[in-house]
Amino acid sequence: MFIFVFQTIWMFIDELAGKGLDLIIIGKFLFYFMPNLVPQVLPLTVLLASIMTFGAFAENYEFAAMKASGISLQRAMRPLIIFIILLAIGTFFFANNVIPAAEYKSFNLRRNIAQVKPALAITEGVFSDIGDSNMNIKVDDKYGDNDRLLKTITIHKTNASGDNTTVIKAKEGELLSSEKSSILQLVLKDGNYYEDIQSKNKRDRKLPHAKANFETYTINVDLSKLNNQDLEEENGVNTHKMLTVMELRSTIDTLKKENKKLITDFGESIYKRSGIIYLNKFVNKPDVPDPVKDSLDTDEIRNEEIKKDTVVINSTQDIIALYDDYKRVQLFEYALNNVSNTVTTIEGKKIFLNNKTKIYMLHRLALNDKFALAFGCVILFFVGAPLGAIIRKGGIGLPMVIAIVLFLVYHFIGIFAKNYAEDGSIPPFVGSWLATSIMLPLGVLFTRRATADKAVMSMDRLFSNKLFQKISGFIKVKKNFFKQDNN
């Protein structure tokens, strides 16, 4: 935990260092953030402790004494197996109750720090985002109590389309906020204001604009979403890390219905815009009268004339052949424009739909992670304990190296699987359980080898393997050939 806490400090060094925070606030932040490190720390701890303990037993011939007394390895492991199962149950309740509460506390603490010390959100010399106001601000200098006073301020504001339409410059400024309010007031002094105004007439080459000079100008900024780096629901306050199992299941059902409705409505909109709905209007409707069929049934004289004039349409080329050349060009242009507009609409909606899918997948991952963490501790114990009995080394040397290597394999497999699961490439269940399922065969293998008092890999069997002998013979032949060639 000590090592991972230092890693956390490096992750948030930009937010904590040089901001005028006292040690109590930093200590609270680390205390609230520590439960989030348990999913990373606990599996490594179980693996390392089991390898070191059983390695020390084997190194000091404790297992030999147990076997001489008629105590098998499984019987020696029985108390620890019970302990690990209880630890797994406790880990599940910890992940289900403590971690969401700690995440909520950590999130609120960061927001409160930004409200009490709003200057933390602004970095000197670079443009910084503030709140949810589509506003970037750059200051040359911060000074005074809690860095509330600013010098040489430049602000860029964007409209709903993301265009930079407003520029505000001021010589001085001041930040005003309150713990009871989520609104930050930025009071600017001695500056000027410039804004591009969208013209209603698109052909107008002269773009209208507004500019003004001011002595004092106040901007209110909403800090309710400041420092929120997790994907959230549009109308929600809690992220996926702040929810329990029951809350996650309810949220997942809601998100699933909303996403399904969103995609269905979008698909129907595209279908209607394509015009196909009008072509299929009378398809498979026997009640619709067919004038050609009626004329054939009622008028024998017109039968031959209709056969001569009727064109049997079997493909799109037959339809195009009915029109003149200039109308064909118009049809193709209309079709190309229709397809182009549809593709543009889909591309514009793609990012929004992917974001919705990612939020849904993150909630499903969070639900599976709570169970996978508990089972992961049990599986890694059955990997570490037999492996320690096999290598017969205790202490912090070789056991720590082996534990770190195995944990890195376990950890990186989990990271890659979750990254693929976030965008829907693989199911979230696979993303959460892949690393644990890969470690399960290793636990079974090591337990069987340790029970039989065998090494992980028999070198005699390896050297006697036919494939190994062929490779060794091939290397010897090549070695002798190069020796003769050099001579």
pLDDT digits (tens, 9 = 90+) for 260-309: 888 888 888 888 777 666 655 544 444 445 444 444 444 444 444 444 44
- What was the pLDDT predicted at 83? 92
Spatial distance between the Cα atoms of 364 and 362, rounded to a whole number of angstroms: 5
Q: What share of the chain is helix, strand, coil (3-state, %, to 5)?
A: 65, 15, 25
Q: Give yes or no for residue 96 having a pLDDT over 80.
A: yes
Banded pLDDT at 91 (limits 50, 70, 90): very high
Nearest to 128 by CA among 106, 160, 150, 161: 150
Spatial distance between the Cα atoms of 348 and 355, rounded to a whole number of angstroms: 12
Spatial distance between the Cα atoms of 190 and 171, rounded to a whole number of angstroms: 6
pTM: 0.62
pLDDT in tens, 403-429: 888 888 888 998 899 888 888 888 889
Q: Give yes or no for residue 89 having a pLDDT over 90.
A: yes
Banded pLDDT at 226 (limits 50, 70, 90): very low
Spatial distance between the Cα atoms of 247 and 367, rounded to a whole number of angstroms: 10
List the structure tokens of 242: 């702040």
Spatial distance between the Cα atoms of 464 and 320, rounded to a whole number of angstroms: 75
- Concatenated DSSP letters of 171-198: EEEEEE--TT-SEEEEEEEEEEEEEE--
Q: Give yes or no for residue 311 having a pLDDT over 60.
A: no
Nearest to 166 by CA among 93, 111, 242, 217: 217
pLDDT in tens, 367-404: 999 999 999 999 999 888 888 888 777 667 777 888 88
Q: Which helix (H) or strand (E) holds 153?
A: strand 149-158
Spatial distance between the Cα atoms of 345 and 397, rounded to a whole number of angstroms: 60
Percent of the chain with pLDDT over 70: 70
Q: Which of 86-100, 277-291, 441-455 has the least mean pLDDT?
A: 277-291
- What was the pLDDT predicted at 88? 92
- What was the pLDDT predicted at 472? 64
pLDDT in tens, 170-193: 888 888 776 566 677 788 888 888
Banded pLDDT at 233 (limits 50, 70, 90): very low
- What was the pLDDT predicted at 234? 36
- What was the pLDDT predicted at 338? 83
- What was the pLDDT predicted at 484? 62
Q: Are strands 209-222 and 128-129 parallel, antiparallel or unpaired?
A: unpaired
Helices (H) and strands (E) in the chain, counts: 17, 6
- What was the pLDDT predicted at 85? 92
Spatial distance between the Cα atoms of 447 and 386, rounded to a whole number of angstroms: 5
Mean pLDDT of 304-321: 53
* Amino acid letter, residue 91: T
Spatial distance between the Cα atoms of 33 and 104, rounded to a whole number of angstroms: 10
Neighbour tally for 403: CB within 10 Å: 25
Domain ranges of the chain: 1-121+237-456, 132-222
